[in-house]
Amino acid sequence: MFEIGLTGTEKLALSYGRILVVDDDPRVRLALTRMLSDAGHDVHDVSSAREARHVLDHDTIAVLLSDVSMPGQTGLDLIRFALCEHPEIATLLISGLEEAGIAQVGTDFGAHGYLTKPVRRSEVLIGVTNALRRRTVEARERAARQSLERTVTRRTRALSNALAQLERAGEHGDAMQAQTLLRWAQSAEYRDPGIGTHGTRVSHCCAVLGRAFGLHAESLGLASVVHDVGKLAIPDSIVLKTGPLTAHERHEMQRHADVGYEMLRDSTSSLLDLAAVIARTHHEKFDGSGYPRGLSGASIPLEGRIAAVADVFDAMTCDRVYRPAWSVAKTTAWMQGERSKHFDPSVLDAFLSSTDEILAIRSA
């Protein structure tokens, strides 16, 4: 087999599977079959797209190598069918015309490569090797996605069961409500060791600030402990990423605010209703540049404005997977620069007046 810089595991993975050659010209078909067979591949050949469909439906094919122009269905029609019905197959197109348009259409359909006639042995073998490598990578990615989907489903089911249990406790089950909320927070913290007891620290800070505004400190503290519960539905590859997030990954991460709200809302518990509000609004900014809804000023619930200050302060003064902690002095100086932008000025002032108390609780 023609191998280019592969590890032993990759060579084994790439050598597995049959190659299907499709071309209405018997001479081309024979030449391709000999090239691939001599390189150690298991090859089957047919003369039409109709025959190829039959083989694809009844045999395990790793690579489909098809001519573009054939009587009846074209090679483009064939690979479109193959990738729709058998997405695990790698596909290569061969054409007698060197046209960029055909190559682009094939790529748009999902083809892994494009070769022009007369084909050379080295080009065919390199094309097949690269297609097999991509097939292996894509199979790993599919398996990883499926694993993440199962993990998210399992976590969401566990949270739903816990929520049902909490609601059965009713408004008078204060102890059970508190215990369940704390366990949810622990679930998120165990998943990401880098955040430690972030939820608990934010909870204590919110309680202190809530007291300054005449709110029920205990309820605000308990409700804010699960402000990031929506992250349980975000893939680990994003939550635990050590480098910068892509635009897509950042969008996925930002979904946690709405996901947390959906998890917690519409319950019979006023505590959970408050937790839902905080989960959805703790990333809103006073100037309207936050997410998920771009609320501004007093349209952001006071509890959300309080949680925004507490969340940012704790996140910046603790080590994260993507950066080391800032000092308290550096963090508070930066936060003062965000007055009336990220933070409600009155909440920020209350926080700055209570910093010593908050730090004392953190170190206790």
Residues annotated catalytic, as ranges: 231
Alpha carbon 13 to its chain's center: 26
Tokens standing for residue 91: 């596909």
**Rounded-to-integer distance, Cα 247 and Cα 293, Å:** 18
Its sign, for the CA torsion 305, 307, 312, 317, is positive
- At 239, phi and psi to the nearest 5? -60, -35
Nearest-angstrom CA–CA distance, 338 and 95: 60
Nearest Cα residue to 64 out of 4, 12, 111, 122: 111
Pairing mode of beta strands 42-46, 18-22: parallel
How do 90-95 and 18-22 pair as beta strands?
A: unpaired
Residues forming a β-bridge with 326: none
Q: Where would I find the beta strands (DSSP E) of 31-129? A: 42-46, 61-67, 90-95, 113-116
Q: ∠14-18-24 over CA atoms, to 5°? A: 125
- Side-chain-side CA neighbours of 145 within 13 Å: the count stands at 6
**Diameter over CA atoms, the chain:** 87
Sequence-distant (6+) residues with CB within 8 A of 208 are 217, 354, 357, 358, 361
